[in-house]
Amino acid sequence: MTLHGAGGDAGELVALCGAARPDFALRAAQAARPRNPMASGSALCPGYEGFVWFRIQEDGLPDPATFEDSRRQVEAFLRDTLDRVGALGPVPLVVVARGQAVELARAAASELREAVAGIFEVTDGSEPTEAARLAGFCDAILGGTEARRGRVHATRATLAALIAWALFSVPGARATSSGPQPGLSGAPEIGGVPAEMTCNSCHATYPLNPDTLGKVELLGLPDAYAPGRRYTLTFRISHPDVAITRWGFQVTAIQKTNGQGAGEFVVTDPQNTQRVGGLAHREYVEHTLPGTAMGKPGGTSWNFDWVAPARDVGEIVFFGAGNASNMDGSKEGDRIYNPTPAPLATLRGAP
């Protein structure tokens, strides 16, 4: 069965995937399905209570029991898909998700990081630009060259599976509380790699850096890195407004010469931080759902490690942003701080 919920169905995402990459094999979710009754009628479908992947508690957090139940379903479906295509050799698996399914995709894929090439978050499947955005996302994963695309077309059924998880956003569901999607560090165009957006693209009540009170810092880096050396870093955000009591962040490291990712982030506090992959071999370290420090005024910080590249690659720049949230359970009223186009830090090559 195609997966649907909250007044929608999987058809929209199936059509989106087909329009974006008709040369990819497509598998819409059948084994996994949302099965937790909504507490009240869906605004998208009045009079029909419908189902959600997981319930939202009064404190705004996912209900642990229903979240874990659905996470197990999604992980099992991912593993089944990988088993089905595994005999054909390594394939890039792209997950296309919407609404609550985004959080579940991230949670399930955390156990399968080597197999899942990327998670694409759908914002409006009916927009023509969404198909172009998905196509570009897939192209970047495959390398983006015409020759590579030719090989993909020649082996249509073996190169990739696009999983369409269609659950439309419902009141109380927040797709980024468990961590932003990759590519929101605000890094400018570097080496032909396109500029990244910032978290302000969603949290848009205020302009970027709306006041001088909010501060973001990346601490623990030397002036020059030693190839292969591991450094313990801290990202810190602060704001004196007592109404701000929830926090988030994302950081990435980039080679200044070509825009490719630099080094490797190591998660040392998995309860509060996570690592996700993005385009141009970039890695991102960011908050988890428990890592948003709900109810904490003044600011917070996150610790993680970074391993420098094995060889001298020249200057490395770190970009990133912090979110100072009012904890009202929506994307409204939050303030994003990011020094872009300036980096958070710049490291010289090995002396």
Could you tell me the mean pLDDT of each successive run of 10 residues in the chain, 351 residues long? 39 73 65 45 38 71 78 76 62 76 78 73 72 82 45 32 43 51 90 89 90 97 96 98 95 96 94 86 90 94 97 97 89 93 93 71
- Looking at residue 49, its pLDDT comes to 41
Spatial contact of 95 and 109, defined as CB atoms under 8 Å apart: yes
Q: How far apart are CA 249 and CA 230, in angstroms?
A: 21
10 Å Cβ neighbour count for 143? Answer: 12
The one-letter code for the residue type at 108 is A
Set out the domains of the chain in order of their start, with CATH numbers.
11-165 (no CATH), 199-347 (2.60.40.4060)
Locate tokens 């970009």: which residue?
319
- Alpha-carbon distance of 70 to 73, in angstroms, equals 5
* pLDDT of res. 167: 37
* 125 exposure class (CB count in 10 Å sphere: 0-12, 13-18, 19+): buried
8 Å CB contact between 93 and 81: yes
Buried (b) or exposed (e) across 155-169, using 16+ Cβ within 10 A? Answer: eeeebbbbbbbbbbb
Whether 285 contacts 275, CB under 8 Å: yes
DSSP per residue, 230-299: EEEEEEEEE---TT--EEEEEEEEEETTT--B-SEEE-S-TTTEEEEE-GGG-EEEEE-SGGG-TT--SE
Strand-pairing partners, residue 52, are 36
Q: What is the pTM of this model?
A: 0.56
Strands 246-255 and 316-325, sheet pairing: antiparallel
Q: Are 105 and 179 in contact (CB under 8 A)?
A: no
- Beta-bridged to residue 284, according to DSSP, are 252, 276
